[in-house]
């Protein structure tokens, strides 16, 4: 069974098999963590993403990591928060689960996640942290190649929220 680690830092500097990109549905880069990952990986990432024809919310697609210390980037568009009545919870669970599944299918043992949908998509942080941790814990209870999932928190508030969610049994 795998473990969850929580750190505060920059996901583009983490050495793991795969980092997850909280992308938009075009996969062509954007703001926040998405833009940072595209800038750090270099132009080859955008070139490969162009061939993928986008990705629906909650699904995941994989590319090379290029100039990143990660072998792969798993792109998953999380849901935009619209008050909670538009399947946002299910879609966010899907983003985490499908990303983990894709990592396992590619024999990854280490995966790093940002906090998906909590930036410009305005998903409430505490609720998103709880969904992330619950979904990851559930996935790690099943046999797969994944040994360590690191939640990489951009700021202290996110770190606190994810840390609290991990403490809940």
Decide if 34 is catalytic: yes
Tell me: the pLDDT tens digits for 119-151? 999 999 999 999 999 999 999 999 999 999 999
Q: What is the mean pLDDT of the chain?
A: 97
- Rounded to two decimals, the pTM is 0.97
The answer to whether residue 19 scores a pLDDT higher than 90 is: yes
pLDDT band at 1 (very low <50, low <70, confident <90, very high): confident
* CB-based burial, 43-77: b 16+ in 10 Å, e otherwise: eebeebbeeeebbebbbbbbbebbebebbbbbbbb
Phi–psi pair at 112, nearest 5 degrees:
-120, 135
The answer to whether residue 169 scores a pLDDT higher than 90 is: no
Q: What is the CATH number of the domain that holds 158?
A: 3.40.220.10
In this prediction, residue 124 carries a pLDDT of 98
pLDDT band at 168 (very low <50, low <70, confident <90, very high): confident
Range of the domain at 40: 3-167
**Number of structural domains in the chain:** 1
Active-site pick, 10, 34, 85, 126? 34
Q: By the 8 A CB rule, do 104 and 85 touch?
A: no
Tell me: the pLDDT tens digits for 70-106? 999 999 999 999 999 999 999 999 999 999 999 999 9
């Amino acid at each position: 069974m795998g473990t969850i680690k929580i750190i505060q830092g920059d996901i583009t500097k983490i050495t793991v098999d795969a980092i997850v990109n909280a992308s938009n549905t075009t996969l062509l880069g954007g703001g926040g963590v998405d833009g940072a990952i595209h800038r750090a990986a270099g132009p080859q990432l955008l070139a490969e993403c162009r061939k993928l024809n986008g990705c629906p919310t909650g699904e995941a697609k994989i590319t090379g990591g290029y100039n990143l210390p990660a072998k792969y980037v798993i792109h998953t568009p999380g849901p935009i928060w619209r008050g909670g009545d538009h399947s946002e919870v299910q879609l966010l669970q899907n983003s985490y689960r499908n990303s983990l599944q894709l990592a396992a299918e590619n024999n990854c043992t280490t995966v790093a996640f940002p906090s998906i949908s909590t930036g410009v998509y305005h998903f409430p942080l505490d609720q998103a942290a709880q969904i992330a941790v619950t979904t990851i814990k559930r996935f790690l209870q099943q046999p797969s190649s994944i040994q360590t999932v690191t939640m990489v928190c951009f700021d202290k508030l996110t770190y606190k929220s994810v840390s609290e969610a991990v403490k809940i049994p």
